[in-house]
Structure 1
Amino acid sequence: MILKALYDYYHRSQELARPGMEYRELAFLIVIDEQGNFVRLEDCRIDDKSCKSFLLPKAVSRSSSPVANICWDNCAYVLNYSEANLPLRNPPADPLKLAAKEEALKKEREKNWKNYTTFCNKVEELHGALPGNIPLMALHLFYGKGNEIILSALQKDPLWGELCKNLTRNISFRINGALTIIPEDKDVVNFYLDSLSVCHADRQTHTCLITGEEGPLVELTTATPILGSQATAKLVAFQVGSGYDSYGKEKAYNAPISREAEFAYTTALTHLLRKNSRNMFRVATRTYVFWASVASEVGLEAESCFFSLMNLQGNETDNPDRGVIQVEKVFKSIFSGEIKTQTNDCFFILGLAPNAARLAVVYWKEIPIKDFAENILRHFEDMEIVDYRMEKRPYKGVYSMLSAVALEGKVGDVQPNLPEAVIKSIFQYLPYPYSLYSACLRRIRAEQKLTQTRIALIKAYLNRQPNNYHKLTVMLDKSNNNVGYVCGRLFATLEYLQKKSYGIDSIRQRYLNAASTTPAAVFGNLLNLSVHHEEKLNSPSIIFFRKLKNEIIDLLLAEGFPTHLNIQDQGRFFVGYHHQMAEFYKASEKNEDIVE
């Protein structure tokens, strides 16, 4: 199902490379004239992390034997030059270690020469097949000068130092004055594609598991690496001789995929995983890609808004809630039918994690777009909580949710399986994971900070519990007589009373954790202290606070304060605290006196 969805995405997209080709970044171009003379180096870098992309013949699959790409590759293949050719930095003082280091560098230089020879042979093969092609003739003459002369010419270029800092990146060639690079030459591309057809003509044919049609099968699938994985990591791969083979089949023949289908799904996945992709987000070690089954308005809007939701990090400057408001507006339009959808319009999300030589699928879901919109709106509804912060920031995105329960807000430190559990809860409208809730309570107690996101998480978790008969509201609910909620309201009242009297809130630092777990042990003392705090207030304020305290205490059962709150009521304590504090600060924002 995953491969079929990726295959369909390739065929519904208009911007992906045609079969046999792919978009690749090139850091530098070697500009030569038609006689093969070096002219200059051309910098194709956009910034330190990205370069200009070109439509090139698809990269070859490599194992231990050197295999060259068509007129483009890394510096080891193109120039016989790598880090091993640079002066040794910080050589070991120990002679034995120094000798071992030099031996390793010698082996790498020998490997570079093999790679370089392979690349030169590929150039000669292309030149022999297309003798009248001017770019290939120039490339043939360029390599005919010898490696030493080539490197000597390049080292005089002002950009040579920059090239030496990017030796692992890909480079290629361009004829001086030409608008396209040599790998983009029409004759070169056509010859390459024709040779692919001939090469695969004698391949084993079988029914493709993706398309259901007969066709030549691939022996090795294309690598689609993610952050943290090996460069050769693949979605479909079988290790030979390690127990993965069955019925005498080896490699990709264990899962028969036609050449055309393999190209389609790997190209689609590579496109979704590209830099700055708006169909991808990362949480800790997990990489998630998502897409709609249709390229219509509803599909594109759903993709754009889901990207915004997953990546909300509270970094807006002019209007911090703009992203949230727009996401909610679009999903309401989809769910209400204002943006039209078809019954078979679906949304997909795929979660991947590094796993040795392969990619591990940690999450996969297919859901109708309308149901998807409904589930997102339910998430927004569950996470909605009164916000009395001066600077309101988004708090409903996955990034904000996970950072709220992580030490020092570092999302990379959350439990490994927590991100997909949270995404699954949002995507499929399931109860939020208990691990998210318990981590939230731990962070509140450890840091003494009841942030907006943490309170929203507690409310969302509790409201999705099947045994919760009195749902928590967005704002203060005076009819809620749950013992945890009531204790939270009372604690907020006593804290605010202290702050109005002395300008401090020390009872929160000293008693918050105890009050939220063992109320009977602390509230008697806190109520006695509040009597002394009232002495600093005027008579109307004293009457107000006494009236409010009695009103809240009357909601408790006859037994009084409980000796212990269960784990769910501990969460309700913090929500009640937040709601009551919001009432106090709402009056302050309006410059109203606290006295009613």
Structure 2
Amino acid sequence: MILQALNGYYHRMLDDPNSGMPPYGTSIENISFALVINQEGELQDVEDLRVVEGKKLRPRKMAVPAAEKKASGIKANFLWDSTSYVLGLDSKGNQDRTDKCLKSFIKCVNDNTNSTDLGFNALHMFFENKKWRDLLDRNDWKNICDTNLVFRLDGVAGFIHDRPAARLAWKNVLKHRDVELTGQCLLTGEKSMGLARLHPSIKGVLGSQSSGASIVSFNKGSFESYGKEQSYNSPVSNEAAFNYSTALNYILAHGSQQKITIGGTTIAFWAECASPAEDFFADLFDPPSVTDKKITSEDDQQTTQKIHSLLTAVRDGKRVEDIVPNLDESVQFYLLGLAPNAARLSIRFWETNSLGNLLKKIGRYFDDLSIVRQFDNEPEFPPMWRLLCQTATLGKSENISPVLAGGLARAMLTGTPYPQSLLATVLGRIRAEHDVTYFRAALLKAFLVRNNEQMEVSMSLDPQRKDSPYLLGRLFAVLEKAQEDAIPGTSATIKDRYIGSASATPGLVFHVLLKNSANHIAKLRKDTERTGQAIHYERMIQEIVDGFDIFPKTQTAEQQGLFMVGYYHQRKAFFTKKNQEV
């Protein structure tokens, strides 16, 4: 199903002349320089093909004869390759291997081209002359070394690999490959097709090998079906293999708007037919904030407001056509979560659904997360990466669990329960850092309302709620606030020492906290200007304690989560009231 959907996307984009989707037999590769040679094969110049992106020079994306699947072996590409193959020069320090790479490239040229074409003839003479070592003396050799090169005939527009003779030669190469192994294609159903022995590599997945990784591969007999060769385990024609891999590489390319990385998971998405959702879907995972002062241009402000309005609509269950015209909610949408796994790619999840259903699930996800913000400049729609950073050690993205990231993304897109590890991870970070942030409170609320369908959690403080864990969290917040007022400027509060144990074993902790609280309130009473505060805290403590019978000895993880939400609600209510009084 995944490969069929990608094959369909390839044909859709191939029909669009502005898409830049390469035709069968080619691939989009990073090309940095062109070797300009004359008809006698003499090197005339090295043309810099790189383009400026921001403040950096990056290789140009160029359609060339499809890259070979090399792995750790030596196999030359047709009429283009790295300096190791084209010149026999690199910085890798293994000249024996580099010499073999050069021989492989020269053999590929000699075996598949003739001397009737001016470009081919110039290439043959270039390799006979072998006068390119002067390149080592060039000032820009460090920039050229280890990059991909193509050839251009001096005084002739275009590159040698684009000449009609080169295209015909490459077509013949592909034709001979297609007859090595034949059978019925798994994707198209066509019979007597040349089957791909090795599928093209997929690039652009964070953490995978820079040369690409396989999404379909067999490298041991134990992985094969009984009595079948490797290609018959996944009988995909050469053309269909090219189509699906080219489509996925197109989606995962640098600068693509159809991918997003969350933790260690790279999510690729596309629609069955053209849809404006492909342009904004990534923003649903990382919504821009309307309060971000860095957004200065009018276009960016309009886009940000549009995304905010769209998210508000899907969260509140409203129609989105008025915000995004021509949005067909019946269009089939595909989402593929990928993660690196040695030389292969691991599929974290695969989701296919109508766009309308996906938007409903995303709306429910943000509704689950809705909770009163600690500070006004915090995002109303928290980006997933910021939520995940709250589960990681030191808040660093590299410490995010890839399994948790994939599970959270899956829950967002499918409406399934959140990973059970989410609750334990958030509680663990709170115990370690003694801080219930807006993002952690939002995650706890989302987990509780989705994974326990009978539970409801309000956005802000609910004074009428009588759940013991919620009341205990509120009580802890009141005791902490009384301490802060009694000892202004204290460097540490009861939160820094007791919040973990108070939530897990309240029966062992709260009697100590209440005893200390009596001292704090007594100190407030001695100050005539703060007697009212003392009375206020005494009343709040009594009202909360009256809501339950005993302090439980222990609480489950879900009860601890509700404790933290109650604590967060009460803390926010304190400061909200203060602001209103001012």
Q: TM-score scaled by structure 2?
A: 0.86
Paired residues for 1:315-354 under 5 Å = 317-318=293-294, 326-327=306-307, 329-330=309-310, 336=319, 338=321, 345-354=331-340
1:552 aligns with 2:544: yes
Counterpart secondary structure, 2:70: coil
Aligned residue number for residue 206 of structure 1: 183
Paired residues for 1:514-529 under 5 Å = 514-519=501-506, 520-529=510-519
Aligned residue number for residue 125 of structure 2: 141
**Cα distance in 2 between the residues matched to 1:331 and 1:260:** 40
How many Å apart are 1:260 and its aligned residue? 2.0
1:174 aligns with 2:152: yes
1:279 aligns with 2:272: no
Give the counterpart of 1:303 among 255, 271, 281. 281
Aligned residue number for residue 99 of structure 1: none
Counterpart secondary structure, 1:571: helix
Aligned AA for 2:487?
A: Y
**Cα distance in 1 between the residues matched to 2:238 and 2:108:** 23
How many Å apart are 1:316 and its aligned residue? 5.1
Aligned residue number for residue 80 of structure 2: 72
What whole-Å deviation, never above 9, does each CA across 1:500-540 have from its counterpart, x for those lacking one? 34323523223323332333433421431332242334344
Give the counterpart of 2:365 among 362, 379, 384. 379
Aligned residue number for residue 449 of structure 2: 463
What whole-Å deviation, never above 9, does each CA across 1:433-487 have from its counterpart, x for those lacking one? 2211111111111111111111111111111133644x11111111111112112
Q: Unaligned stretches of 5+ in structure 1?
A: 86-107
- Alpha carbons of structure 1 residues 343 and 388: separation in structure 2 relative to 1, 3 Å: closer
**Cα distance in 2 between the residues matched to 1:314 and 1:434:** 32
What whole-Å deviation, never above 9, does each CA across 1:331-386 have from its counterpart, x for those lacking one? 56676252566575222222223334432223212122111100101111111111
Aligned AA for 1:552?
A: I
- Alpha carbons of structure 1 residues 314 and 35: separation in structure 2 relative to 1, 3 Å: farther
Q: Report % sequence identity.
A: 29
**Cα distance in 1 between the residues matched to 2:57 and 2:366:** 35
**Cα distance in 2 between the residues matched to 1:67 and 1:549:** 76
- Alpha carbons of structure 1 residues 82 and 439: separation in structure 2 relative to 1, 3 Å: same
1:359 aligns with 2:355: no
How many Å apart are 1:30 and its aligned residue? 2.0
For the 8 Å contact 1:4–1:210, the answer to whether it is kept is yes
For the 8 Å contact 1:174–1:182, the answer to whether it is kept is yes
**Cα distance in 1 between the residues matched to 2:170 and 2:291:** 47
Paired residues for 1:262-277 under 5 Å = 262-277=241-256
**Cα distance in 2 between the residues matched to 1:476 and 1:284:** 32
1:480 aligns with 2:426: no
Aligned residue number for residue 28 of structure 1: 33
How many Å apart are 1:269 and its aligned residue? 1.3
How many Å apart are 1:34 and its aligned residue? 3.7
Aligned residue number for residue 217 of structure 1: 195
Aligned residue number for residue 116 of structure 2: 131
How many Å apart are 1:326 and its aligned residue? 4.6
How many Å apart are 1:254 and its aligned residue? 1.9
How many Å apart are 1:551 and its aligned residue? 3.3
Counterpart secondary structure, 2:348: strand
1:406 aligns with 2:392: yes
How many Å apart are 1:404 and its aligned residue? 0.5
**Cα distance in 1 between the residues matched to 2:104 and 2:459:** 67
For the 8 Å contact 1:272–1:280, the answer to whether it is kept is yes
Aligned residue number for residue 586 of structure 1: 576
Give the counterpart of 2:408 among 413, 416, 422. 422
- What count of residue pairs does the alignment treat as equivalent? 554
- Alpha carbons of structure 1 residues 178 and 474: separation in structure 2 relative to 1, 3 Å: farther
For the 8 Å contact 2:366–2:381, the answer to whether it is kept is no
Give the counterpart of 1:37 among 35, 39, 42. 42
Aligned AA for 1:6?
A: L
Aligned AA for 1:39?
A: Q
1:163 aligns with 2:144: yes
How many Å apart are 1:319 and its aligned residue? 6.2
What whole-Å deviation, never above 9, does each CA across 1:130-178 have from its counterpart, x for those lacking one? 613x3333323322212xx2112x12322113223xx2x3122223455
**Cα distance in 2 between the residues matched to 1:173 and 1:210:** 36
For the 8 Å contact 2:470–2:562, the answer to whether it is kept is yes
Paired residues for 1:5-20 under 5 Å = 5-13=5-13, 14=16, 15=19, 16-20=21-25
For the 8 Å contact 2:33–2:148, the answer to whether it is kept is yes
How many Å apart are 1:179 and its aligned residue? 4.5
- Alpha carbons of structure 1 residues 538 and 118: separation in structure 2 relative to 1, 3 Å: closer
**Cα distance in 1 between the residues matched to 2:2 and 2:372:** 40
Counterpart secondary structure, 1:172: strand
Question: Please, what is the CA RMSD of the aligned residues?
Answer: 3.0
Aligned residue number for residue 121 of structure 1: 107
- Alpha carbons of structure 1 residues 179 and 539: separation in structure 2 relative to 1, 3 Å: farther
Aligned AA for 2:119?
A: P
- Alpha carbons of structure 1 residues 216 and 84: separation in structure 2 relative to 1, 3 Å: closer
- Alpha carbons of structure 1 residues 564 and 302: separation in structure 2 relative to 1, 3 Å: same
- Alpha carbons of structure 1 residues 562 and 239: separation in structure 2 relative to 1, 3 Å: closer
Counterpart secondary structure, 2:169: helix
Aligned residue number for residue 215 of structure 2: 235
**Cα distance in 1 between the residues matched to 2:259 and 2:446:** 25
Aligned residue number for residue 497 of structure 1: 482
For the 8 Å contact 1:174–1:180, the answer to whether it is kept is yes
**Cα distance in 2 between the residues matched to 1:549 and 1:268:** 62
Counterpart secondary structure, 1:54: strand
How many Å apart are 1:257 and its aligned residue? 0.9
For the 8 Å contact 1:283–1:412, the answer to whether it is kept is no
How many Å apart are 1:284 and its aligned residue? 4.1
- Alpha carbons of structure 1 residues 346 and 84: separation in structure 2 relative to 1, 3 Å: closer
**Cα distance in 1 between the residues matched to 2:511 and 2:304:** 42
1:188 aligns with 2:166: yes
